[in-house]
Amino acid sequence: MKISVCMASYNGAKFINSQISSILKQLGNNDELIISDDGSSDNTIEIINSFNDERIILLSHTRNDKIRKKTYTHYLVSSNFENALQFCTGDIIFLADQDDIWIENKIRNMLPFFETYSLVMSDCSILDQESTREHNSFFNEKIILPRGLVKNIVKPIYHGCCIAFRREILNVALPFPEKMILHDSWIGILAENFGKVKFIDEKLVLYRRHFSNSSYATGKSKNSLFFQISYRARLFFQVIKRILSIKYNNI
């Protein structure tokens, strides 16, 4: 069984070394770490190349400065992840953020669940920018999956750095719709409709929450109410369209 880890990078020089190290030590010789870089201007690329590891596949994501200045970061991140996902060849796909740290045996602890489930999401602990653990649990509540379309739209819960999924889920998730915001919710919702999903309460990632981030566990979104409503409405119709397309073999 081949493992693909897909990471989106952009000016991640401060933390990416630790994250790549924590991932590579868990991969087998035939596994891969695909990193899609969105035009980093710091030394992110140099750090990635310094590993000199054949399992790392570095991709250049087309950067559009005009779009970068006028759009939300969410669009850029989702598009960057999509670029990595398009090139992965594994049977099981993990998503990884550039500035987190994977707990030892994250992959080994999650793999047995794929004998039954199509997508698995773990818990994670939260780090601040100084690498101090702030919270022991990201979710701070009992998570029961699946949740259904309405709950996933109203209160998105699928957290990209904590999820892994089988290739058949990737096949229905790609290509992403235009202006996709919550790529992790998109994947999770489709997994609920076309497979079986599971939450495990093991904290398998040290998730770095920056001061500018909003967090499910500890903060409120800084986006406007209009934006929050509009992207949820867009996601709802994107999901419905994809589900109907697949069911009627039009995708």
CATH of the domain at 14: 3.90.550.10
pLDDT in tens, the chain (251 residues): 999 999 999 999 999 999 999 999 999 999 999 999 999 999 999 999 999 999 999 999 876 555 544 455 667 889 999 999 999 999 999 999 999 999 999 999 999 999 999 999 999 999 876 666 666 889 988 899 999 999 999 999 999 999 999 999 999 999 999 888 899 999 999 999 999 999 999 999 999 976 444 444 445 556 678 778 888 999 999 999 999 999 887 65
Across-strand partners of 97?
8
In whole angstroms, give the CA distance from residue 12 to residue 157. Answer: 25
Which residue reads 């001061």 in tokens?
A: 211
In this predicted structure, what is the pLDDT of residue 72? 55
Q: Which amino acid is at 74?
A: H
Angle of helix 183-194 relative to helix 73-87, nearest 10 degrees?
50
In this predicted structure, what is the pLDDT of residue 63? 61
In whole angstroms, give the CA distance from residue 50 to residue 218. Answer: 35
In this predicted structure, what is the pLDDT of residue 95? 98
In whole angstroms, give the CA distance from residue 40 to residue 80. Answer: 12
In whole angstroms, give the CA distance from residue 108 to residue 189. Answer: 25
Considering its fold, how many domains does the chain have in total? 1
- Say if CB 82 and CB 180 are below 8 A apart: yes
What is the C-alpha radius of gyration for the chain, rounded to an integer number of angstroms? 17
User: In terms of Cα–Cα distance, which of 190, 188, 182, 181 is closest to 242?
Assistant: 190
Q: In whole angstroms, how far apart are CA 6 and each of 143, 150, 232?
A: 25, 28, 25
In this predicted structure, what is the pLDDT of residue 61? 87
CB proximity list for 231: less than 8 A, separation 6 or greater: 74, 181, 182
The range of the structural domain enclosing residue 230 comes to 3-247
| Residue 147 DSSP class | -
CA 232 from centre of chain: 18
CB-based burial label for 137 (10 Å; 0-12, 13-18, 19+): middle
In this predicted structure, what is the pLDDT of residue 220? 57
- Say if CB 9 and CB 44 are below 8 A apart: yes
CA 144 from centre of chain: 19
In this predicted structure, what is the pLDDT of residue 67? 52
